[in-house]
Amino acid sequence: MKKIIVLLVMITLNSYAQDATKAKALLDKVSATAKSYKNIQIDFSYKLENTKEKVNQNSKGNVTLSGSQYLLNFMGVTKLSDGKKIYTISTEDEEISIANIGGSDDDADTPAKMLTFFNKGFKYAWDISQNVSGKKIQYVKLIPISSKDDRKQILVGVDTKTNQIYNTITQSKNGTKVTLSVNTFKTNQALPKNQFTFAANKYPNYYINKLD
């Protein structure tokens, strides 16, 4: 009996290990596919829910990515990265914050990191598969390794035909659920030369706040 139990445990553990390897391999394909493009333009939807606190927030945004550079428009704020600095532009407040990459401005949770955030810091598990409008969406479950991480788990939906992100569903420990859904995904577009260049003369009356 003991030998049977040990055998069953070993089979179960082996199955989990294979699923984790398969899940990580799929996400590696997503990263490799994203890196193969000269640039990416994404229109996305954002939904935040917390039943306990009766919060339900919906918004839309767009981001253009090219290497370490990006232009993000989300919830009335524009974030521009030229690869060296991040410029956060608030039209409502007429204020611009400027920070060095990796400096005071923590940019880790914006959709600009949507295609690479899962590369490290997580345990991986193969999850459900769904057919959505003719697309096969395979979900991978991410469990943060650090106990200090406020996120409980993240589901990453991948279009298996294109190896592109379909959506991400983040469950936080406080009960908050955030869903980011890709509405359009365009690649290798013809971009203006100054797409990622900050022009201070466009904001003559704005307060400039240098964080670094």
62 three-state secondary structure: strand
Question: Which structure tokens are listed for 147?
Answer: 């106990």
Model confidence band, residue 105 (pLDDT cutoffs 50, 70, 90) = very low
Rounded to whole angstroms, the maximal C-alpha distance in the chain is 79
Whole-number percent of the chain with pLDDT over 70: 87
- Domain locations in the chain as residue ranges: 2-210
pLDDT at 51: 87
E-state strands within the chain: 40-50, 55-66, 69-74, 77-81, 85-90, 95-100, 122-132, 135-144, 151-159, 164-172, 177-187, 207-210
Contact, 168 vs 180, CB < 8 A?
yes
pLDDT at 2: 53
Q: What are phi and psi of 81, to 5 degrees?
A: -120, 125
- Domain 2-210 matching CATH 3.10.580.10: the answer reads no
pLDDT at 18: 67
Digit-coded pLDDT (tens) for 128-148: 999 999 999 999 999 999 999
Q: CA–CA separation, 181 vs 158, rounded Å?
A: 11
Digit-coded pLDDT (tens) for 69-85: 999 999 999 999 998 99
Sign of CA dihedral 125, 129, 132, 137: positive
User: Per-residue pLDDT for 113 more than 50?
Assistant: yes
Kindly report whether the global pTM for this prediction surpasses the value 0.85.
no
Q: CA–CA separation, 9 vs 35, rounded Å?
A: 39
Sign of CA dihedral 16, 108, 170, 37: negative
